[in-house]
Structure 1
Amino acid sequence: MTNLATNLAVSAARDGAAPAIRLGAAEVSFAQLDAASAHVAGLLRERGVQPGDRVGIMLPNVPQFAAAYFGILRAGAVVVPMNVLLKAREVGFYLDDSQAKLVFAWHGFAEDAVAGAAAGTECLLVTPGEFEALLAATTPQPQVVERAADDTAVILYTSGTTGTPKGAELSHANLIRNTEVVTGLFTLTADDVVLGALPLFHSFGQVCGLSATVAAGACLALVPRFDAQAALDTIHRYRVTIFEGVPTMYVAMLAHPDRARFDVSSLRMCASGGAALPVEVLREFEAQFGCIVLEGYGLSETSPVASFNHADRERKAGSIGTPVAGVEMALRDVENGVGEIVIRGHNVMKGYWGRPDATAEVIDADGWFRSGDLARMDEDGYFFIVDRKKDMIIRGGYNVYPREIEELLYEHPAVREVAVIGVPHAELGEEVCAAIALKEGATATADELREHVKAQAAAYKYPRHVWLVDELPKSPTGKILKRAVETPAGLLD
C-alpha cells in the first residue's frame, strides 16, 4: 500500500507498547498514537474531508502534531504544515492558496488562526484534554486510505524570501523513499531516542525527525521550542542517541555555561542541515560531546534530503557529502570550479502547488531541479556548499562568497555567530560587511575582527565594515536571516 501513514500502523502492530513520543513527563505509545490518528481520520471524514483535500496543521512540537499529521494522511488527505507564529494575514494566505478545508490550530495561537481561517476554512482549536475528548467521541477510521505513489501527501510552503511563499508538492513516494533513506543513513532502530528539537512544521524535523523515527519504531523526545538548556536536559533525561539540528543549535549548546552538568554520553550520532555548519563548530562539538556529526543537504523541494556524509565512509569537514541512494547531483554554469547544484531523483517534488510557471523555472524537461545553491565538487564526488546564489556579493566585479569569510571569523575564539552581507555601494556595487555576536564573556573589537580576516583573505574579500550585536535575527527553524540584519545608520556615508 502506498501511504506514508502505513509506517505508523506497521510500527504500532510490531510493538504497540513502545514509546513513540515523549514530552516532559508525558509518554505516548505507538498503539496510542496509531489510535489517535485513526480518530483524527474519523473526525475529518465526519467534517466532510475527502481524499485529496488539504488540511492545515498549525501546531508546535507536541504529540497532537503527530496524531494530526498521520491522521490526515490516513484519511487520504493532504497535510499543509504551518508555522505557529504566522499572523492572521499569513494564515489566510496559506489556507486560501492551498484551498484547505480545515486547519488544526493550537489554542495558544487561536486569535491569528481563527482570523486567518475566516475566509472559508474550518478552524479546529487543539486544547490539551479537550482535543482528546473530542477524538474519543469520534468513530475511528482504522483503515489507511490507499493512495497512488504520485498523489500529493504534503504541501510544504517555502519561506518566500522573494515574493509570496510557494507550496512544494511532495508525493507519498517522495516522502516514503526519503524516510527510508534517512532511516538507513542514521542506522535507526527501535532502540534509538531522537531529539525532536527541530520544528515539526519544517521538512527537516518532519521527515528526518518524526517520519523516520516512527518508521523505525524509535522514540521522539520532543522539545516544544528550542533552547540549549531544554535540549541538553532532554538528552540527559531520556538518554537521547541522535541529535538533529541546524548550526545555530550546535552553537547554542556549545556556548551553554552549564553544559558540563548534563550527561550527553548517550549520543552516538548528530546530523546537521538547514545551513552550512562552520567547520570550527563541527570540530569543537565533536570534541566536547564525544560523537560524530554528519552534515547533509537538502531543500523542501527535495523531500528534503539530497546528499549526506555517511558514517561508514570518509567524512570531509565542511562538505555536505555525496548524493543519497537513488539521487543524482551535478553542477551547472560552472565558473572557476563553482556552479549551481542541480538535483534529480525520487526526492524531487512534483512541482509548486498551482504554480506551473514557477515549477518550469526550477525543474527542466529532464527532471533536473535547480537549487539556487552554489557549490564546488572535489575529485571524490564530495560537494562543498560555497553559498546561496542570492547571497553572493559582487564587489567591484569580484565574486565574494559570504560563507568563506564567515568560516574565517568563526575561527576567532571570541566569535559566537556571524552574518556576512553585501551592502549597496555607489562605486563598487556592493561592499562586504559583517555583523557579529560574541561568546558570553568574550571581548573583541570590530577592528580586531576585521584584521583577523584581512590577514587571511584577498584584499577585495575582507569586510570593510564590522559591527557587534547581541543577537542575530533568526528564522523559526533557527537559520540566521541575513535579509533581516540591520546595518548601522550612516554605515557607508
Structure 2
Amino acid sequence: MSTELGGVAVRAAVRVAGTDVAVGRDELAGLARRAAHGLRRRFAPGERVALCVDGTPETIAGLLGCWLAGLDVLLAEPGSSYLADARPDVRAVLGPGDIAFAEERPLPPVDPPRVLQFTSGSTGEPKLAVQPLEHILRGGELYRDLHGLTAGSVIVAPLPLAHSFGLGAGLAAALAGGATLVTMPRLNLRSLAALLAGDPAPVLLGTPLLYSLLAQARPAPLPRPATLLTSGGPMPADVVAATTAWNGRPPWQCYGSTETGLICAQHERDLPWHPDGVGSPVPGARIAVADDGLLHVTTDTMFDGYLGEPPRTAPAFATGDAGRLEDGELRLLGRKSTFINVGGRKVNPARLERVVREAVPVRDVVAYGVAVRTGDEEVHLAVVGAEPDRVMEACRRRLSPHELPRAVHVLPELPRGPLGKVDRGRLPRPSREESTT
C-alpha cells in the first residue's frame, strides 16, 4: 500500500541506538498510516496539534501520521519549557504513548499541512515559524543530493528531531533518500563511536559540543571516513584538528535557520573549503550582502511567517549575521544576535530575563553567555535586588536543563553605557572553576 507525503514516499527505516528497537521501511510506512487513521478519529484535517518527538519509532510514525492526516504540527522536545511558556493554540499536546494506531485502509486526500517550529528568538522572544510541509521535504532532498544519500545510507542523529537541523538533515533526508535514521535519545559516546566505525560509514549530525566531546574521548581512527555534518555555531580549530585526525577528513558546516531552511553547506568536492567558511549556497538559495554587511537571504524553503503575525511579504529574510561571499563560499564575519550557544542549542536571553522578572521581585536582571574552553558557552545571570537561591529556584521551575544559569551574580547595579544600555563587556565573567550556582 503506497504511503506518500507531498509526492515523497515514506520509505525510511528507523533504529534507536544502543537498543533492539528498529522498524523497517514497510513497517514504518504502515505505522504512519495506522497513526493517521487513529488521529483522524480525534481531529479534523487542518487542525493543529503539538507533538513531542523523542526519537522513538512510535513518535516518528506519529509525526508522519499527523502529516498524512492533514494536521498542522507544532514540534517540541519532550518536557520542553517552551510549550508551557508559549501557550500555543493547539487542540492537544501529544507525547509518547498518546498516538493511537488504528486499522490500515486507504487514506483520503488532504490539503498539505504545515510544520511549526520554535525559533531561537535571537532578536527577541522566541516565535513559532510556520513552514509548508513541502519545504521541509525539499530540505531533505537538498541534503540527499549534496551527500549522495541512498537506501544503503545511515544517518545518525543524536540531537532533537524537533529542531530544524535534526528534522531536515535527519528525518526529511532519510525520507528523501530511503535511508536508515538512527536516533539516540540518550547520548552515549561509546555507542556513537561504534556506529561511526561501522560499514557503511554513516552521516553524523552533530553540534560543535558533540564533536568536542568526541575529540576528548579520543576514539580509535575510523576504518573509512564518515560524513560529519555540524550546525549551531563555529567549531574551535583544535576540535576541527582532532576530529580530522580520527575521521580522516574534517566535519562539514551547514548554515541555515528555522525560517529559511538550509542556506549554505560544505560537501565533497575537489577543492578544500576555507576554514572560516560555511560552504557554498545550496540550489535555490540567493544571498545578498546589504550596505551594513548583514546578510539577506531567499531560498526555496522559506517559511510563511510567524504564528499570530501577518503573513510574510518581504522576499528576503534578514539573518542578523554579517558575512561576505568570496570564491563561491560564504564567510561569516559576526553575529548580530545575542543568543547564548549552549552545546549548539540556542538559549534566548530575553526569555530568561522575563522568566526571572515574572517569578522574583528583582530590580534588574540580564542574561548573558560566558565562553568555556570548548568554544561553547554557559548561561550566567546578573541581578540587582534579588537572592541567588530564589532566582535559581524560579529558573528550575520554568526552564529546561540546558537553559539553567551556571551562575547568578548579585550586583549593586548593572553596568550601563552613556545611552543606558547594559555594557555586557563589564558583566562578571569568572573562570569555569569560579562559576557557582
Code of the aligned partner of 1:301: E
Confirm whether residue 57 of structure 1 aligns to residue 21 of structure 2. Answer: no
Query: Would you say 1:101 and 2:101 are equivalent positions?
Result: no
- Residue 377 in structure 1 maps to residue 325 in structure 2: yes
Task: Report the equivalent of 2:408.
Answer: none
Asked if 1:76 corresponds to 2:70, the answer is: yes
What CA distance in whole angstroms lies between the structure 2 residues aligned with 1:249 and 1:425?
A: 34
Counterparts in 2 of 1:294-333, with a 5 A limit?
A: 294-302=252-260, 304-314=261-271, 315-333=273-291
For 1:264 and 1:2, locate their aligned partners in 2 and report how far apart those are by CA, in whole Å.
37
Q: In the TM superposition, what is the alpha-carbon distance from 1:291 to its structure 2 partner? A: 3.2
| Residue 61 to residue 331, structure 1, CA distance change in 2 (3 Å) | same
Residue 337 of structure 2 corresponds to: 390
Cα distance between partner residues in 2 of 1:234 and 1:144: 40
The counterpart of 2:302, out of the listed 340, 345, 348, is 348
Counterpart among 30, 39, 59 of residue 35 in structure 1: 30
Corresponding residue of 1:113: none
1:193 maps to which residue?
154
Instruction: Name the CA distance, whole Å, in 1 between partners of 2:415 and 2:323.
Output: 26
Question: How big is each residue's C-alpha offset from its partner over 1:146-199, in whole Å with a ceiling of 9 and x where there is no partner?
Answer: 43xxx5421112133565431111113312221111111111111111112121
The answer on 1:368 being equivalent to 2:316 is yes
Relative to structure 1, the CA distance from residue 267 to residue 313 in structure 2 (aligned partners, 3 Å threshold; closer, same or farther) is closer
TM-score normalised to structure 1 length: 0.67
Partner in structure 2 of residue 215 of structure 1:
176
**Structure-to-structure mapping, 1:166-245, within 5 angstroms:** 166-236=127-197, 240-245=201-206
Share of identical aligned residues, percent? 24
1:344-364 per-residue CA deviation (whole Å, 9 max, x = no partner) reads 1211111112212xx65xx62
Distance 1:145 1:255, change over 3 A: farther
Structure whose residues are more often helix by fraction: 1
For 2:84 and 2:429, the matched residues in 1 are separated by: 40
Letter in 1 for 2:30: A
- Give the match for residue 423 of structure 2: 430
5 Å matches for 1:114-193? 125-126=97-98, 134-135=100-101, 138-143=102-107, 145-147=109-111, 151-161=112-122, 163-193=124-154
Q: What are the within-5 Å matches in structure 2 for residues 229-268 of structure 1?
A: 229-236=190-197, 240-256=201-217, 259-260=219-220, 264-268=222-226
> Hey, what's the Cα distance between the residues in 1 that align with 2:108 and 2:243?
42
Q: Please tell me the root mean square deviation across aligned C-alpha atoms, in Å.
A: 3.2
Decide whether the 8 Å contact of 1:420 with 1:432 is kept in 2.
Answer: no
Q: After alignment, is 156-165 or 422-431 more displaced?
A: 422-431
Q: Is the 8 A contact 1:332 1:342 kept in 2?
A: yes
> Gaps spanning 5+ residues in structure 1: where?
13-18, 107-124, 393-408, 435-464, 471-485
Write the distance in 2 (CA, Å) between the matches of 1:91 and 1:183.
Answer: 31
Q: Which AA in structure 1 matches 2:262?
A: V
Give, as a single letter, the amino acid of the residue that structure 1 aligns with 2:33.
A
**Distance in structure 1 (CA, Å) of the matches to 2:4 and 2:322:** 35
Q: Normalising to structure 2: TM-score of the pair?
A: 0.75
TM-aligned CA deviation for residue 488 of structure 1: 8.2
Q: Deviations over 1:225-254 (max 9, x none)?
A: 334334224334675421111111111111
In 2 relative to 1, CA 426–165 (structure 1 residues): closer, same or farther, beyond 3 Å? closer
Q: Which residue of 2 aligns with 1:456?
A: none
In structure 2, give the amino acid aligned to 1:82. Answer: A
Determine whether 1:46 maps to 2:41: yes
**1:2–1:173 contact (8 Å) kept in structure 2:** no
Q: In the aligned structure 1, how far is the partner of 2:125 from the partner of 2:105?
A: 36
What does residue 228 of structure 2 align with? 270
**1:267 shift after superposition:** 4.1
For the 8 Å contact 2:195–2:202, the answer to whether it is kept is no
Tell me the matched-pair count: 368
Q: Shift in Å at residue 75 of structure 1?
A: 0.8
Judge conservation of contact 2:156–2:182 (CA < 8 Å) in 1: yes
2:83 corresponding residue in structure 1: 91
Structure 2 unaligned segments of length 5 or more: list them: 340-370, 383-413
